[in-house]
């Protein structure tokens, strides 16, 4: 049986791992390669690296660390941030990343999704979506790396998840902004409401604070993976403990 | 020497890095002499079957691969290319192993099949029920050449072997310690 995935997310800024609350007040959490190796050894199923400054400050990420990570870990990983063309995507994949994730650039130029899919295949093209609940519906936001640049993308989240699938995306990471960094649990309501429209793997992001939150999001929202950052970085939840807890509760987990 | 065939698609470096972690050097190449003289040959690949077959054709590698006599390992798309044809782009493949590659289908089946899934072996194996990492939407039916299966909707070929040719549908280079042991077994088969 296909296992549910536990995915530590490493927000990268200036080549170190950071974490802020609702995209603000970033604290340094540690070295990229060291954290990657630690999570890989502890049983993470996959890693995601987001360069959170890349899109909003319109600069290229320094991708040198990608190859260093690819050399040391033996689990898959995805790189996000600042990927706005085929050449940058190719550079990252050639350095050994398994997938690339795009967010704001896909909203600016949705054809980029098709171009990436045609060049590299669906399997390595992930779409990250920052979704915010307001005016009785879920809305997509972009340039969320900084408080100064964040803005509404003027799209409903539901419309956007349908569109990115039509364009060939291989996976969706849905970051529920109202919950992000709050540790009150994943946005089960939002994820459950969108799941029927998503026929590719769906990864929940934003809000994990306790082991129960992971169980809830797998059991209720039927997501394929759960992403979290600070609970892992601060070692409040050990991946090994989390996995045995989920397994005891009949979630299919790789141990 | 281990030759990793450069089929012109991305994601070859992760295979090389895995070999390096196991203590082996590998040469990424499309040079015919280098491939023919290698002790082991790995055909990696992600992306589309039609594009990769077109690349192999342009590089003059199709008859070269077909006639290799040393151990050859196809990984993911590289495994699929060992078969006769693929419905992905409706293309003829290398025709080394009988069978066709088709798209996964099924009610409520999330596609691509992405993530960690278990191996079930036709004959007893220390890797029974071990998890390996998959990312694919096309698959090979179970046949007499199937060594191990994985079930997603229904069982499909996870590991295939015919003569000196082997294939793995999953990514051993990204399948944790299990994947590294499977790669090691290909390079130095246990006696």
Chain A residues within an 8 Å CB radius of B13: 67, 70, 94-96
User: Which residues, in sequence order, are CB contacts of B14 under 8 Å at separation 6+?
Assistant: A70, A96, A98, B171, B173, B174
Q: Work out the average pLDDT over A115-122.
A: 89
| Residue A33 covered by a domain | yes
Q: Work out the average pLDDT over A128-145.
A: 91
Active site residue B76: yes
At residue A62, does pLDDT exceed 70? no
Q: Work out the average pLDDT over A152-176.
A: 96
Per-residue tokens: A139: 């809305």
> Do B117 and A121 make contact, defined as CB atoms within 8 angstroms?
no
Interface of A with B (CB under 8 A): 1-5, 40, 45-46, 67, 70-72, 74-76, 90, 93-96, 98, 119-124, 170-171, 199-202, 224-225, 254
pLDDT at B10: 58
Cα dihedral A179/A182/A184/A187 (nearest 10): 10
Tell me: the pLDDT tens digits for B32-70? Answer: 999 999 999 999 977 778 888 999 999 999 999 999 999
> Do A45 and B116 make contact, defined as CB atoms within 8 angstroms?
yes
At residue B25, does pLDDT exceed 50? yes
At residue A58, does pLDDT exceed 50? no
Dihedral sign computed on CA atoms, order A46, B49, B160, B57: negative
The boundaries of the domain holding residue A24 are: 5-248
Name the domain count of chain A.
Answer: 1
| Residue A255 covered by a domain | no
Per-residue tokens: B177: 């310690």
Q: What is the mean pLDDT of chain A?
A: 90
| Residue A237 covered by a domain | yes
| Residue A253 covered by a domain | no
At residue A135, does pLDDT exceed 60? yes
| Residue A104 covered by a domain | yes
From B88, B93, B136, B173, active-site residue = B173
Angle at A94 between CA A92 and CA A99, to 5 degrees: 55
Q: B98 CA to chain A: closest CA distance, Å?
A: 25
> Do B176 and A170 make contact, defined as CB atoms within 8 angstroms?
no
Active site residue B141: no
Q: What is the CATH number of the domain that holds A203?
A: 3.20.20.70
| Residue A254 covered by a domain | no
pLDDT at A24: 61
At residue B151, does pLDDT exceed 80? yes
| Residue A45 covered by a domain | yes
Please, are residues A213 and A227 in contact by the beta-carbon 8 Å criterion? Answer: no
> Do A96 and B174 make contact, defined as CB atoms within 8 angstroms?
no
At residue A102, does pLDDT exceed 50? yes
Q: Domains of chain B by range and CATH?
A: 2-187 (3.40.50.880)
Active site residue A87: no
Q: What DSSP string describes chain B?
A: -EEEE--S-S--HHHHHHHHHTT--EEEE--HHHHHH-SEEEE---S-HHHHHHHHHHTT-HHHHHT--S-EEEETHHHHTTSSEETTTTEE---SSS-EEEE---TT--SSEEEEEE-EESS--TTTT-EEEEEESEEE---TTEEEEEEESEEEEEEEEETTEEEESS-GGGSHHHHHHHHHHHHS---
Predicted TM-score of the model (pTM)? 0.93
Tell me: the pLDDT tens digits for B97-133? Answer: 999 999 999 888 999 999 999 999 999 999 999 999 9
Q: Work out the average pLDDT over B61-81.
A: 97
At residue B9, does pLDDT exceed 50? yes
pLDDT at A146: 73
What percentage of chain A exceeds 90 in pLDDT?
Answer: 66
What ipTM was reported for this prediction?
A: 0.91
Give the best-scoring range by mean pLDDT among A85-94, A133-142, B160-169. Answer: B160-169
Chain A residues within an 8 Å CB radius of B10: 90, 93-94, 120, 124
């Amino acid at each position: 049986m296909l296992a549910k995935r536990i995915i530590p997310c490493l927000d990268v800024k200036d080549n170190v791992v950071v974490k802020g609350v609702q995209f603000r007040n970033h604290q340094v959490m540690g070295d990229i390669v060291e954290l990657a190796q630690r999570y890989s050894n502890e049983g993470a199923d996959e890693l995601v690296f987001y360069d959170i400054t890349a899109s909003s400050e319109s600069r290229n990420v320094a991708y040198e660390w990608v190859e260093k990570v690819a050399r040391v870990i033996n689990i898959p990983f995805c790189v996000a941030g600042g990927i706005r063309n085929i050449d940058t995507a190719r550079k990252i994949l050639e350095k050994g990343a398994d997938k690339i994730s795009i967010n704001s650039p896909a909203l600016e130029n949705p054809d980029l999704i098709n171009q990436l899919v045609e060049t590299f295949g669906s399997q390595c093209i992930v779409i990250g979506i920052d979704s915010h609940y307001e005016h009785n519906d879920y809305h997509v936001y972009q340039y969320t790396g900084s408080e100064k640049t964040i803005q509404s993308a003027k799209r409903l989240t539901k419309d956007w998840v349908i569109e990115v699938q039509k364009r060939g995306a291989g996976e969706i990471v849905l970051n529920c902004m109202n919950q992000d960094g709050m540790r009150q649990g994943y946005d089960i309501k939002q994820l459950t409401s969108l799941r029927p429209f998503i026929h590719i793997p769906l990864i929940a992001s934003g809000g994990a604070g306790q082991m129960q939150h992971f169980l809830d999001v797998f059991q209720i929202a039927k997501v394929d993976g759960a992403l979290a950052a600070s609970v892992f970085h601060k070692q409040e939840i050990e991946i090994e403990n989390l996995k045995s807890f989920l397994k005891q509760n009949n979630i299919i987990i790789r141990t | 020497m281990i030759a990793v065939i450069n089929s012109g698609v991305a994601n070859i470096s992760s295979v090389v890095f895995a070999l390096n972690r196991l203590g082996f050097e590998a040469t990424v190449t499309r040079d015919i002499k280098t491939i023919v003289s290698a002790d082991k040959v790995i055909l990696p690949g992600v992306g589309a079957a039609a594009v990769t077959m077109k690349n192999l054709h342009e590089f003059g590698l199709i008859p070269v691969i077909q006639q290799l006599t040393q151990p050859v390992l196809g990984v993911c798309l590289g495994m699929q290319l060992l078969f006769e044809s693929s419905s992905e782009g409706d293309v003829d493949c290398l025709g080394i192993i009988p069978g066709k590659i088709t798209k996964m289908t099924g009610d409520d089946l999330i596609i691509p099949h992405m993530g960690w899934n278990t191996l079930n072996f036709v004959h007893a194996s220390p890797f029974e029920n071990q998890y390996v990492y998959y990312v694919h939407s096309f698959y090979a039916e179970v046949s007499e050449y199937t060594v191990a299966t994985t079930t997603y909707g229904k069982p499909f070929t996870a590991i295939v072997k015919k003569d000196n040719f082997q294939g793995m549908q999953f990514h051993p280079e990204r399948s944790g310690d299990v994947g590294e042991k499977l790669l090691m077994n290909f390079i130095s088969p246990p006696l």
